[in-house]
Amino acid sequence: MEKEDLKVLNKGEEEEMELQGYRLCRWRLALVGLGVLCTGGFLLLLLYWMPEWCVKSTCTRTTARDAEVVLMRSTDEFRRWFLARVRVMLAPGRNPFHSLETQTTSPSSPSCPFSSPPLANGHTTHPSDCDPDQELFRIYADYQPTQIRYFTFHSTTYYWSDEVQNFDVLTGLEDLQVSCSTLHSEHSAGLTRNQQEYRRLFFGVNEIAVKVPSVFKLLIKEVLNPFYIFQLFSVILWSADEYYYYAVAILFMSIISIATSLYTIKKQYIMLHDMVATHSIVRVSVCRANNEIEEILSTDLVPGDVMVIPSNGTIMPCDAVLVSGTCIVNESMLTGESVPVTKTNLPDPLPGERGEDNDSAYNTEGHKRHTLFCGTHVIQTRFYTGDLVKAVVVRTGFSTAKGQLVRSILYPKPTDFKLYRDAYLFLLCLVAIAGIGFVYSIVLSIMNEVPAKTIIIESLDIITITVPPALPAAMTAGIVYAQRRLKNLGIFCISPQRINICGQINLVCFDKTGTLTEDGLDLWGVQRVENGSFHLSEENAYKENLVKSQFVACMATCHSLTKIEGQLSGDPLDLKMFEATGWILEEATEEETALHNRIMPTVVKPPKQLLPPEPAVTPEQDMELYELSSAYEIGIVRQFPFSSALQRMCVVARLLGEKRMDAYMKGAPEVVASLCKKETVPENFADVLEGYTKEGFRVIALAHRRLESKLNWHKVQNISRDHIEANMEFLGLIIMQNKLKAETPAVLQDLHQASIRTVMVTGDNMLTAISVARDCGMIPPQDTVIIADALPPHDGQAAKITWRYADKPSKTPHLEEVNITLDDVCHIDEPKKQELYHFAMNGKSFAVISEHFPDMLQKLVLHGTVFARMAPDQKTQLIEALQGVDYFVGMCGDGANDCGALKRAHGGISLSELEASVASPFTSKTPNISCVPSLIREGRAALITSFCVFKFMALYSIIQYISVTLLYSILSNLGDFQFLFIDIAIILLIVFTMSLNPAWKDLVSRRPPSGLISGPLLFSVLTQILICLGFQTVTFLWVRQQPWYTVWKPFTDACNNSSHINMSDHNETEIDDHNIQNYENTSLFYVSSFQYLVVAIVFSKGKPFRQPSYKNWPFVLSALTLYVFLLFIMFYPVKAIDDFLEIVCVPFDWRVKLFILILVNAAVSVLVEGAMDLRAYKCLTRLCCPSKMTPKARYMHLAQELRVDPDWPPKPTTTTEAKSLPENGSTYQIMKNS
């Protein structure tokens, strides 16, 4: 069908998908049904695994509007297919926000709420006890019911929209693009019951429902895995061939594997369900449109409801915006920061002030200081003059912040890793080899006139031998052991498959505050400003002569501290600043705020000992008047909370007894200075600030302004902050110290030595970040830092980047020759002659460069070391940009605002154990970055273990394949118990113990290969296959050349002279139908059994990624035990064992010859693999890094290009300007500054 009917869902978002509409076709369904019957259900399985085939074989294309089934394909690199059934519901209107007339409705609640009609699969959007159609017509008799088409996918409902001619998601009140003033005027009264019922039709029940699937459902899903289906086929085949014991053993293994898997999955579901279910259903009070307060269940809430926040606090059941009152909230569930946050009511601009700037459309991100998020804990509320604290519900269910977090856990992105893709390719190669054997055995059997049944069973048997059934269990073992070792190190993992990927990490991004540095800040000093010039810096402001200064008043009032159960609580920076003044904070009680018509503000006052002594009181003076005049108290009248977008906070306060109010502001120095009168900002402000930030101090600026006398309390409550935050007087700087954690420099040094790049991503000031990067060794002292300042297009001018050098290094003559060093390309041990450089930029520049200089961004991230003032979503974009140039990225943060980045990175490790970090694949109990090298070491060990196990399992299947193929040529095979002994006693024991090698103690600069399809690995496997093939073929041919050799019969006695066992009782042996007992079988069984052990030892690698195998005592013990047992049965036959394994007696001299053959085989295998290890790395380096060869990774390729670019890195005298060229998109040109 025409291409234009391909719709795009969630355009530009993470879950972007292409959608096609299909209609069910009866004759196709009938044909598929017939096919399912003919294939015994196998076709149904195939369609279950392939949604695309399923839809295309049973449906015909139609428009998305008329679709009965939609077929979706993700637009990411995985290109996964999904299908969903389109359903229809009846509703009185097309849009949940249509204002339906309610005259026809009775004031009392209807006997049955609206609900969607029963659907094809018995699913309804919410429970209903009466016929919904009748109910719809009864309540809305004037309305013609509308058919609304929708489908549900990944816990999100998509509705058909005629406006956009596509399926769309209804998120909540934000869909209306409602302005702040409209939210106050039109949405703060509440909904009628009927409006609420109508909206619930669309938004569904307000619940984040994590359904724990039944064991039966999980079992079906797990058992329908292609691998288990193959195992079932194998078991049926072996049973048909009377290999009952082996079939039972494999069946037993599969059952244990499935049971373990089910237990783990079920446990994860229950854990997530319990986490979400806590406080998810509570009773809430809502305001109705007729000013009634009604108590309902939180599951009934819909966007637009007005919820009353109880004074004793609650756990929020939805996302809601405060329209009256203030709340103190613990948002640790969402941000990972357990510091209480003050949420204020959404500003309601006065009619005259409703410009575009003051009255913007409400959105949860931009107005998060006024938004209460689902799952966060409201600790206490503040309300005045009897008003209730009210919030308008904006989002419910899975649309909420908590819902999105849960969805990201429920439906994670698949882990794309070369190892897993190569594993499938490798299995395909094995299947191809099996195909050759399959054809060979059929041809051979036909030539020897073997019965048809035997031909079918034996030729299919070859396939089950070549693809080892124990492979997934073997591959999982290494990861399970690594997970256990990580747990012992205090690192918990919710995504075990990522452990292997961590072994490839070659770049780690670190958050700064709380990760590289200590969480708290210490006050280092203050530097006051008077008459437009700086005083000398002072240690603190706790002085009598400063107690009544505006500087101290600003420190004492400009914060969001509150008392919770008598304890001061709030932002650590605010706490340190307030404690430095020594003042006391007093808050009005709930009773006082409710009783007084006038506001009872939070009051701060200095301790009495700090106030200057007053003259003695004479008896005739009025005592009360004296106390009033001597009291020095400041009341905080209004608070404009700190906004990371504005980088400042502001309060309006009044000194007791004063008529006029004061505004105090604190924030980022550059921002505060820009809002002050120029004459009050010292001329050397920039130099002083740079001096502090270069030393790594966190600097906060303070400012003050006397407000006009006409601004009374009521006007202040409604004024916009822009009116207050202008024409301020600059008061000075507070200098805070953020100390590095003790472990930080050493860990970063270890990572650098291992050629792992380190990058800092922080929300802090640029120069402070650069200074901390220098202090911790991320940027060596001699290296240059180039700051990229990007400006967006303005007044017709194109976007441009200005380059400046941060700290003017003393050595700059050779900057023309600066090159990016690539430790990952070729590790050259020569001293580096060229000077190194690092790029630094802030969030604003990053946004401009991402949009206007996409090709430049790739070059910048190649050597970008400091990214400052980065918003949470920008951190995620940076991770994506780094992954875009083929870096394997690790991210380490404290879980606060790093959630997205932690999830997106190949290995995200959170230092916070709070709920928000649940989305992070790894969580560390140790609150410092020492967990990062540990994780990478364990990842490398797990990766090498996976390679060892895969190589061993491949060799095991090939060795067995060679044995069986050789025996097929004489119409023989391995016996049931021989298979059992090899597969259970040798293979399983070895595989599960060879995975136990712990990680090597140091991080080395070499990285393990990322895929199985790499030169050395394939060469290693192929050489071992040839060695095993050679020695088995020699054994097979040589035994037939022996003078004593005859075709074995039950009465044959080839070792009557050389064995101490009397073989006369062999005459009683049963006739062997399968021709198992013969000299070829016995000889090949001995040789191949030793080959499995030799290969296991050869492939079990130690240094530089794992501890040597001799330290893995379970493996050493298992191998020795098997060697001793095999040598024992070879040289001292025991009749019971021989009969069990169906081995025949051979002369002693032949056993000695076999032993010599096995020793030579072992020596050749060890020597060849040893030679490979010694030379492979050097050869590989030569192969991968010839001067003219283009490297595979994109960042290496870019580095090679930049090495010969004369204009790179940009000089400090240049500006780079964006230039739009139609033929090749965005590009740029570098110009000299005039």
pLDDT at position 259 over 60: yes
Measured distance CA(442)–CA(421) in Å, rounded: 32
* 30-49: pLDDT as tens digits: 999 999 888 888 888 888 88
Band of pLDDT at residue 828, cut at 50, 70 and 90:
very low
Band of pLDDT at residue 22, cut at 50, 70 and 90:
very high
Cβ-Cβ contacts under 8 Å for 1067 (sequence gap 6 or more): 1050, 1051
* 163-199: pLDDT as tens digits: 888 888 888 888 888 888 888 888 888 888 888 888 8
pLDDT at position 312 over 90: no
The dihedral over CA atoms of 934, 940, 941, 947, expressed in degrees to the nearest 10, equals: 170
* 599-656: pLDDT as tens digits: 557 888 888 766 666 555 445 444 444 444 456 888 888 888 777 667 788 999 888 8
Average pLDDT on 680-707 reads: 85
Average pLDDT on 419-425 reads: 74
Percent of the chain with pLDDT over 90: 10
pLDDT at position 716 over 50: yes
CA atoms within 13 A on the CB side of 186: 10
Q: Could you identify the residue written with the tokens 């394909």? A: 73
Band of pLDDT at residue 109, cut at 50, 70 and 90:
very low
Cβ-Cβ contacts under 8 Å for 901 (sequence gap 6 or more): 509, 761, 872, 875, 876, 878, 879, 891, 893, 908
Percent of the chain with pLDDT over 70: 81
Longest dimension (CA), the chain: 138
Question: To which H or E segment does residue 443 belong?
Answer: helix 418-447
- Tell me the torsion sign for CA atoms 780, 525, 603, 655: negative
CB 1105 within 8 A of CB 1003: no
* 921-962: pLDDT as tens digits: 888 888 888 889 999 999 999 888 888 888 888 888 889 988
Look up the pTM and report it.
Answer: 0.74
CA atoms within 13 A on the CB side of 958: 24
pLDDT of the residue at 627: 44
Which is more confidently placed, 861 or 141? Answer: 861
Catalytic residue among 241, 305, 348, 511: 511
pLDDT of the residue at 1156: 93
pLDDT of the residue at 810: 37
Measured distance CA(235)–CA(809) in Å, rounded: 72
pLDDT of the residue at 769: 84
Q: Could you identify the residue written with the tokens 């040109």? A: 1229
Please confirm, yes or no, whether 886 is among the known catalytic residues: no
pLDDT of the residue at 140: 56
pLDDT at position 759 over 90: yes
pLDDT of the residue at 11: 83
- The pair of structure tokens assigned to 976 is 């049931």
C-alpha distances in Å from residue 132, one per residue of 143, 145, 150, 296, 1216? 14, 11, 18, 22, 64
Band of pLDDT at residue 1161, cut at 50, 70 and 90:
very high
CB 771 within 8 A of CB 694: yes
From 210-224, 312-326, 534-548, 661-675, the region with the lowest mean pLDDT: 534-548
Average pLDDT over the chain reads 78
Band of pLDDT at residue 443, cut at 50, 70 and 90:
confident
Pairing between β-strand 314-315 and β-strand 306-308 as defined by DSSP bridges: unpaired
pLDDT of the residue at 597: 43
pLDDT of the residue at 811: 37
Average pLDDT on 1047-1060 reads: 59
Total number of residues shown for the chain: 1234
pLDDT of the residue at 867: 92
Question: To which H or E segment does residue 472 belong?
Answer: helix 471-488
CA atoms within 13 A on the CB side of 843: 18
From 514-518, 591-595, 795-799, the region with the lowest mean pLDDT: 591-595
Cβ-Cβ contacts under 8 Å for 424 (sequence gap 6 or more): none
Which is more confidently placed, 617 or 897? Answer: 897
Which is more confidently placed, 597 or 1080? Answer: 1080
At residue 697, the 3 state secondary structure works out as strand
pLDDT of the residue at 548: 80
Average pLDDT on 541-547 reads: 71
pLDDT at position 986 over 70: yes
DSSP conformational letter for 172: B
DSSP codes of every residue in 1074-1125: T---SHHHHHHHHHHHHHHHHHHHHH---TTTB--GGG-HHHHHHHHHHHHH
Measured distance CA(583)–CA(528) in Å, rounded: 19
Band of pLDDT at residue 821, cut at 50, 70 and 90:
very low
